[in-house]
Amino acid sequence: MLIGIDGNEANIKNRVGVGQYAYNLLVNLQKVDTKNQYIIYLKDKPAADLPQETPGWHYKVFGPKKLWTKISLPIHLFLQKEKLDLFFSPSHYSPQFCPCPTIPTIHDLGYLQYQDQFTKKDLYQLINWTKSSIKKAKEIVTVSKFSQDEIIKTYCIPKSKITIAYNGVDAPPEISDKESKNTLKKFNISDPYFLYLGTLKPNKNIPFLIKSFSKFLIDNPQLKNHKLVIAGKKGWLFNEIFKTVKDEHLENHVIFTDFITELEKWVLYKNSICFILPSTYEGFGIPLIEAMKIGTPTISSNIDVLKEVVGEAGEFIDLNNINDLSKKLVLMCSDSTRLKFQKLGKVRAEKFSWENTARSVLKAFDKAAA
């Protein structure tokens, strides 16, 4: 088959979320697929770390960039000499019109439940472009059984038309003592710390985490030297996060890093007491797998998708109970508890790799071509 892919989400400098998924998928599709040929469509020159061109792997760069998915891409697909067998999008958005079957990746439907967390423009695009992509798709890829169930329920799509391709995580890099020391020094981290890592946005429920950490400090004065590190770039509607730190008088106990590099990310995981993801909604939860993979215990909200990802390998919390998370933080200060979840987490994390993701996506390609 000749397969077209929208590579723009992978072709950015600071990859998070869908960008991380798209990049790793491209790398591993080229690695594991020896029978199909690919054309990767871009609106900018391919980044140096994207897979190199081969006889079966080519890039096409064109514009105009404005409304590229809706106008530039469809026109190009109809006019080009190559005839695609299918077109795959690692994001929600397939081309507006396409001369071949399309396969979008629907990561989650959180924007339908939490519409107040998006700008009007972004929400309009998410609702209408996603619906259009789903309705005309020959096959759909999603990242969890939870998201599959949401798609079936919301859009009345048969289960047989949806392929689950779980997100993956690469093996953690070897981290030297010098690299750890330099990273911790950069962010002025010298005390034991709990870690949150991810974009600062409403569904991550960071104010709840901060209030729970405040209670932890109040109830456990013997642990008053502990810090909370919040790592990740600002997303949207994040002002409440910083306001909560001030309201709780935690300016000297909460450390914000803003965007971090890949190496810094792994250093922060490795040196933390535990990783916490208190989200009210997720499509998957890659940071939980990353933490488990490097041997860091996890605490996450007791929502279905995170229980699907973590299984029995981590602690879960009631999102209506600050005291619950506070007590779990105390529990994670125990060496025996951390050791238990380090072992369970490493075993669990082995189930998730980007190579497995790519092989699952290939199955979706075969289904669409059948």
Instruction: Give the pLDDT of residue 166.
Output: 95
- Of 66, 101, 328, nearest to 212 by C-alpha is 328
187 contact partners, CB below 8 Å, separation of at least 6: 229, 255, 257, 268
Range 167-186 average pLDDT: 94
Among positive and negative, which fits the CA dihedral 194, 198, 200, 206? negative
Task: Indicate which CATH number applies to the domain containing 97.
Answer: 3.40.50.2000
Please report, in angstroms and rounded to a whole number, the separation of the first and last CA atoms in the chain.
11
Q: At what angle do helices 286-293 and 335-349 cross, to 10 degrees?
A: 110
Range 215-232 average pLDDT: 97
Among positive and negative, which fits the CA dihedral 263, 266, 272, 275? positive
Instruction: Give the pLDDT of residue 167.
Output: 94
H or E element at residue 184? helix 177-186
Q: Give the pLDDT band (50/70/90) at residue 278.
A: very high
Spatial separation of the C-alpha atoms in residues 309 and 312, rounded to whole Å: 9
Q: Are residues 44 and 145 in the same domain?
A: yes
Q: Are residues 357 and 321 in the same domain?
A: no
Q: Are residues 340 and 205 in the same domain?
A: yes
Number of domains in the chain: 2
Residue 117 has pLDDT above 90, yes or no: no
Q: Are residues 150 and 21 in the same domain?
A: yes
Is this prediction's pTM over 0.85?
Answer: yes
Q: Are residues 251 and 340 in the same domain?
A: yes
> Is residue 62 classed exposed, middle or buried when 0-12, 13-18 and 19+ CB atoms within 10 A define those classes?
middle
Range 92-99 average pLDDT: 94
Q: Are residues 181 and 152 in the same domain?
A: no
H or E element at residue 162? strand 162-164
Q: Are residues 193 and 263 in the same domain?
A: yes
Q: Are residues 292 and 163 in the same domain?
A: no
Q: Are residues 130 and 276 in the same domain?
A: no
Instruction: Give the pLDDT of residue 157.
Output: 96
Q: Are residues 345 and 361 in the same domain?
A: no
Q: Are residues 345 and 358 in the same domain?
A: no
Instruction: Give the pLDDT of residue 237.
Output: 79
Domain that holds residue 24: 2-168+353-369
